[in-house]
Amino acid sequence: MIQKYNVKVAAQSFYIEEQSVPEQGHYVFAYTITIRNEGAMPARLLSRHWIITDSNGKVEQVRGEGVVGEQPYLRPGEGFQYTSGAVIETPVGSMQGSYRMVADDGVAFEARIPVFTLSAPRILH
Residue spans of the domains in the chain: they are 7-119
Residue 102, pLDDT > 70, answer: yes
Exposed / middle / buried, residue 125 (Cβ in 10 Å: 0-12, 13-18, 19+): exposed
Residue 124, pLDDT > 70, answer: no
Q: Is the backbone of residue 23 left (phi > 0), alpha (psi -120 to 50) or beta?
A: alpha
Return the amino acid letter for 49: H
Choose among 47, 54, 9, 46: nearest CA to 31: 9
Q: Which residues contact 77 (CB under 8 A, 6 or more apart)?
A: 37, 38
Tell me the average pLDDT of the chain: 96
Phi, then psi, of 17 in degrees rounded to 5: -60, -40
Phi, then psi, of 24 in degrees rounded to 5: -110, 10
Residue 115: pLDDT band (50, 70, 90) is: very high
The domain defined by 7-119 carries CATH number 2.60.40.1470: yes
Give tens-digit pLDDT for 27-76. Answer: 999 999 999 999 999 999 999 999 999 999 999 999 999 999 999 999 99
What is the pTM assigned to this prediction? 0.93
Residue 123: pLDDT band (50, 70, 90) is: low
Residue 22, SS3 per DSSP: helix
Strand partners of residue 83: 32
Residue 125, pLDDT > 70, answer: no
Residue 2, pLDDT > 90, answer: no
